Chain A
């Protein structure tokens, strides 16, 4: 369709029509040394003054008679085609069309607004770098490359979603990462058939082995140092272009309990807090269930001095303990949910009003016993200890089934629930790699790292299979 007969005017009209006369589209004819040229770009994505400078530079190169005059660090020359044209303009490139010679000069100089790489709100550390990812892959990648100056760090890019054209990048270290896992990630990313790929969470859903499991199989982080540490362990990080979140896989359950702080703190201190976090897993899941079981079934386990206090607390409560617990738990969830949405100063006020005032009044009113308030508050605090937000949410959810089981069968329910949880954790896999790894399959060398932060970092590969001694996914049936 593009031949000499077509005038530059009709070309301009054509481009305008393609972009529906969008008012931020710049399409103008300009003089080039051997004929007219059409410059087009989105003024909202490209700086006009910069365009002029670049065009001057290229014009000079052409005038100097260089054969490759169009090829510079940020520009390239292609044969003209409509699809290249629309794509380049959409992404924010400048396209210069030479109808005479049927060429298209592409200048890559989009300007996007990017946040500065501030520390992510939900992953604060005390010591250590305070950088975080932003909403652009190039900036994020530069944060990673800055820390890993090695040629083995590989980035692979896919474009997903017909409507959104989202760039999905996965990065890994060639020499360390398991090639099967890399191939697996590639296969799964390619099989995503969706027109809209917007968020990291969406990609996570597509990649997960079992979507219905309450346990996250990808570690979400916005911290470059965390990504780098994981890459060095042979894991793969996945970025969606417009999200600051990196998805890391394959991970195991205990990865969610490790914080970069551990490795920045002293050995003993780091180990202590790691053990504390693992214990908090126990209290966060079992404490309310245990209390409900004791009050509802096994009151005889209380020593007599304590039992009088507990009895005094629960004696006048009209509801069953499970109601009390659900009431308070939902109440705490409400406070938490509302505090997230509100600006910080108001959020704090809500916390204080909700926590202190209502908490006190609810006991005075005789709806809930004071022991239940202690139990629920302790549970909430222990669940917030977990360094990973998704795991935090998971823990908050799975204690409800335990509470129900305890209210129906007492300790029996808790024991059964524990078995179910344990079996489930053994079944879950992250990119086909075992999820519960240093424990099952048992790996004594790594087992101590669950509880202790060793004095120096050794690079370890992720456990590969469920089956003892097999090389491939032998245990899967």
Chain B
């Protein structure tokens, strides 16, 4: 499987993989832990994200995972996809499909990923393009809530203690998930196009703007106590907006988010299969199908919200391991080898 990415394709790929399912769910735990300081905490975490990107950009050439490390990553991504799928399914069940059997909704979503992954590589890479016109609309409608924003909700600041700060940082780690794809796909970017420097900074700013604004919106729109009861604050903001033509914009956007998430899943599935094919020769079609069957089966074991939450909570620690520890080890080992 050989393919080349343009700079824009690469960053779009990364952005959609990082935002996907997460942007609906991470605000509530973050704000619950840190209160009005959430936006400050998140700004700080954003700097960490940028540092990580810079380190990745400097060292990606040395990142050559062997079969064992690849298998670990594959397991990790499987866990991510499964937790995403079960979260999507749970959310859809709450918002739209309480009666429809879980397996049907899951199979349909995984079916899309399967179809995309059986097509040529470019199809998966470009899948995110369909979201490009929709994301601005989504944002404009969020801004309709502007008159209802309570600016004093952002204060008082710096009232937070150490353990809450740690909880907040952990909660905001969900927005990092997918950053490791940078290491895997960076070498496919057209070498004529510059990535380091300004383009990387622009990407960081986009990422920051997207997540920070969603934190700000949730803080500004809801009172703190209320926010703790609402698992998907962004959807509630949309729900309370009335546009002349239709009521209930949230219903459109829950499905926009579903599309977004399905694409994120396809991207992760694509990455998993791509990494698998680096070491396994041939049988791409067969492996793709087997992998997707696993994706249908595993979420079925996560029947309740508790299971979904448990997986989600443990995901953060896996994530830290795979984003910081493993790349560091692999890069250092390869550097030494080169010397």
The interface of chain A, by Cβ under 8 A from chain B, is 297-298, 300-303, 409-412, 414-416, 418-420, 422-423, 426-427, 439-442, 466-470, 474-477
Contacts and interface: CB of A to CB of B under 8 A. Distances in A.
Contact of B127 (A300, A415, A423): A423
Given A301-B251, A420-B112, A427 B120 contact: yes
Given A415-B258, A423-B127, A477-B121, A300 B251 contact: yes
Given A302-B246, A412-B97, A475 B122 contact: yes
B317 interface: no
A441 B3 CA distance: 13
Given A416-B108, A427-B123, A301 B246 contact: yes
A469 B284 CA distance: 24
Contacts of A475: 3, 120-122
Contacts of A470: 4
Most chain B beta-carbon neighbours within 10 Å: one of A302, A412, A420, A474? A412
Contact of B116 (A415, A423, A466): A423
Contacts, number: 103
A301 B250 CA distance: 9
Contact of B96 (A412, A414, A419): A412
B2 interface: yes
A419 B112 CA distance: 7
Contact of B130 (A409, A422, A477): A422
A423 B115 contact: yes
B247 interface: yes
A419 B294 CA distance: 22
Does more than half of chain A's interface fall in helix, strand or loop, or is it mixed? loop
B129 A442 contact: yes
Contacts of B119: 423, 426-427
Interface in B216-266: 244-248, 251-252, 255-256, 258-259, 262-263
Nearest to B260: A415
B108 A423 contact: no
Interface stretch (B5-13, B135-143, B160-168, B331-339): B5-13
Given A410-B96, A415-B258, A415-B259, A426 B112 contact: no
A426 B126 contact: yes
Contacts of A302: 246-247
Interface string B1-38: 11111101100000000000000000000000000000
Given A467-B4, A477-B120, A300 B112 contact: no
B4 A440 contact: no
Contact of A423 (B9, B112, B190, B251): B112
Most chain B beta-carbon neighbours within 10 Å: one of A301, A418, A439? A301
A25 B293 CA distance: 70
Contact of A426 (B1, B123, B258): B123
17 contacts: A301-B248, A302-B247, A303-B245, A412-B92, A412-B108, A415-B255, A415-B256, A415-B259, A416-B262, A420-B115, A426-B123, A427-B120, A427-B123, A469-B190, A475-B3, A477-B121, A477-B284
A411 B251 contact: yes
Contacts of B116: 423
Most chain A beta-carbon neighbours within 10 Å: one of B244, B248, B251? B251
Nearest to A415: B255
B123 A468 contact: no
Nearest to B104: A409
A466 B259 contact: no
Contacts of B190: 468-469
A-B residue pairs, 6 tightest by C-beta: A466-B122, A468-B6, A415-B255, A440-B126, A301-B248, A426-B123
A25 to B, nearest CB: 57
Given A303-B246, A474-B4, 18 more contacts: A301-B251, A409-B97, A409-B108, A412-B96, A412-B258, A415-B258, A419-B112, A420-B115, A422-B130, A423-B115, A423-B116, A423-B127, A440-B129, A441-B122, A466-B120, A467-B3, A468-B190, A477-B284
Contacts of A300: 247-248, 251
A419 B259 contact: yes
Contacts of B284: 477
B251 to A, nearest CB: 6
A474 B122 CA distance: 10
Nearest to A434: B122
B189 to A, nearest CB: 9
Contacts of A301: 246-248, 251-252
Contacts of B1: 477
Interface in B90-131: 92, 96-97, 100, 105, 108-109, 112, 115-116, 119-123, 126-127, 129-130
